[in-house]
Amino acid sequence: MRFVNRRLSLRERVLTALAGIVAVFVGVQGLLAYLSLAEQEDDLADEWVMAEARRLAVHAERGELHGLNAGALFQPTPTLSAWLMDTRGHTLPGPVPEHLKSLSDGAHRSRSGGAELHLVVLPTAQGRLFVQYDATGNENKVDQFGIYMLGLGVLCVVLALAASHWIAKAVAAPIERVTEQLSNWAPDASMDAAASDEEAKLSDAFRRVQSRFEEAVAREREFVSNVRHEIRTPLTALRTDLELLCLAPDAGAPSRARLQRAMSMVDAVSAALESARVLSQRQGVKSQPIDLARCVDDAWSSLGAHASVERLQFVNAVPAGTFVDADRHSLLTILRNLIRNSAEHAAPARCVVSYHDQSIEVADDGPGIAPQDLELVFERYYRGRLKDSPGIDASGEGLGLAIAHQVAQLNKWTLVASSEPGCGARFVLRLA
């Protein structure tokens, strides 16, 4: 015969555990109640026999056990009997049973012919007094109580099974719903739902979701890599042509300025592609010493064609020759987005970029950020400040600060914002 090794489902485990706990609890309590009642019955029987023996001992001290009333004093009942053996070996009211003769003085318990007997032997002035109590009826009642407790325990276990079934269903239902949602999102026909418990189903669903997520990330990286490769070649050719045109002897100063601006924009597009590649990889980047003042100038120059830049007075307060260890593309992306933010939301204003204690500060003296918007400025597509600015086109997507914050996190930097309404906004990028 072949046995299938199947794990219990979550419902079955909860059901078994709860029912088992109730069964053990009820069984232990019932057994303790039965044993306690049996012990109490034995103690009461012993006390009753001892009390009867002492009563007869008092009559013996008075010499009444040999008088006219001796028969009445020794009158047996269905459960209680007494005998007196005097010093000469005579017994009243009849022969002492054999199982009593060998007993020593004191209280005793014994079984004889299926009867539960409680015995007391007392020495008196008139001889040895034997008192016997048949507690068989009491024992039967205790046993009957045990049967009642057993029936009650079975009833409690049945009720516990019903309650445990409901509780197990309630406990397993959320996991089953999550598993079903994950399975619907990432179905797999090879999964045998009937042969697996909830844990196996959930683990398999997570595995399939993880696999689909990894495939999506791989496709995203491949797409970014393909786009970057396809765009970089024409961009390189375009920049080469712009450089040749700029070096042409017949190019005037205005033309050269425009060509320089066009080359800056080509460099900005290349930097944006590199930032997209870095973000798509979602992993750290290598740092190298870079000239911070020049990097700030390059970030500002890359915004030369932006409409709002003309209304912004830009000041690069980073001392010349300041070097920091950072990824140039990441730092350019953050600075460009922070400066563009000042141009879009603060202009006409003055924007100052400074550096101290491993922190880069980009501050403007524009209208500032409203307190209710300050905690949300790094959220994607949040443009509350821009929408409230008069005369500004709010049709942008609101991704600049979110991208800057994401790039900072990728490099393990910290980007924070602070502002006082009417006193401008301040962004601090901590590199350490």
Most confident of 82-91, 177-186, 323-332, 379-388: 323-332
Look at residue 316 and give its three-state secondary structure. Answer: strand
305, pLDDT greater than 60: no
Give me the pLDDT at residue 205, please. 75
Closest CA to 265 of 295, 316, 313, 304: 304
pLDDT at 385 over 50: no
> How many CB atoms sit inside 10 A of residue 186's CB?
17
Cβ atoms of 400 and 343 closer than 8 Å: no
* Helices vs strands, H then E, count in the chain: 11, 12
Least confident of 146-160, 172-186, 236-250: 172-186
348: left (phi over 0), alpha (psi -120 to 50) or beta: beta
Per-residue pLDDT, averaged over 227-253, amounts to 78
**Cα dist. 246→127, 236, 255, 259 in Å?**
142, 15, 8, 6
Strands (E), 21-114: 80-85, 91-92, 106-112
pLDDT band at 427, cuts 50/70/90? very high
Least confident of 9-13, 158-162, 328-332, 381-385: 381-385
Mean pLDDT for the stretch of residues 386-397: 42
pLDDT given at position 386: 44
Kindly state the average pLDDT of the residues 338-347: 87
What domains lie within the chain, and their CATH numbers?
Answer: 10-158 (3.30.450), 190-283 (1.10.287), 286-430 (3.30.565.10)
Q: Residue 258 — very low, low, confident or very high, per pLDDT cuts 50/70/90?
A: confident
The CB density around residue 334, as the number of other CB atoms within 10 Å, is 28
Is the predicted pLDDT of residue 343 greater than 50, yes or no?
Answer: yes
What is the structure's pLDDT at 237?
Answer: 81
User: Which pairing describes strands 91-92 and 106-112: parallel, antiparallel, or unpaired?
Assistant: unpaired
Q: CA 46, CA 255: separation in Å to the nearest integer?
A: 124
Among 54-63, 149-158, 195-204, 409-418, whose mean pLDDT is lowest?
Answer: 195-204
Q: Among 110, 112, 108, 111, which residue's Cα sits nearest to residue 120? A: 108
pLDDT at residue 8 is higher than 80: no
271 contacts 307 by C-beta, under 8 angstroms? no
Percentage of residues in the chain with pLDDT exceeding 90? 14
Q: What is the mean pLDDT of residues 284-312?
A: 79
Q: What is the pLDDT of residue 414?
A: 93
* pLDDT in the model for residue 284: 52
* CA distances in angstroms from 396 to 164, 169, 383, listed in the order given: 57, 50, 8
Q: CA 264 → CA 269, 291, 294, 317, distances in Å? A: 9, 18, 13, 21
Q: With contact defined as beta carbons under 8 Å apart, do 80 and 132 qualify?
A: yes
Q: What is the mean pLDDT of residues 332-346?
A: 88
Residue that wins the pLDDT comparison between 237 and 187: 237
Q: Comparing 131 with 232, which gets the higher pLDDT? A: 131
What pLDDT shows up at residue 52?
Answer: 86
CB atoms < 10 A from the CB of 405, how many? 23
pLDDT value of residue 324: 93
Q: In terms of Cα–Cα distance, which of 228, 362, 225, 378 is closest to 295?
A: 362
Are 370 and 302 spatial neighbours (Cβ–Cβ below 8 Å)? Answer: no
Q: Residue 132's closest CA among 93, 210, 79, 192? A: 79
Measured CA to CA, the distance from residue 336 to residue 404 in angstroms comes to: 9
Which amino acid, 410?
A: L
Q: For residues 410 and 127, give the distance between their C-alpha atoms in angstroms, rounded to a whole number.
A: 105
Give the pLDDT confidence of 106-158 residue by residue, as tens digits.
898 888 777 888 899 988 878 888 898 888 888 889 889 999 999 998 898 88
Find which of 7-11, 135-139, 231-235 is predicted with most confidence, using mean pLDDT: 135-139
Residue 405 pLDDT > 80, yes or no?
Answer: yes
Output the average pLDDT for the chain. 80
Average pLDDT over residues 284-290: 77
| Per-residue tokens: 317 | 């307060």
> What pLDDT is recorded for position 230?
76
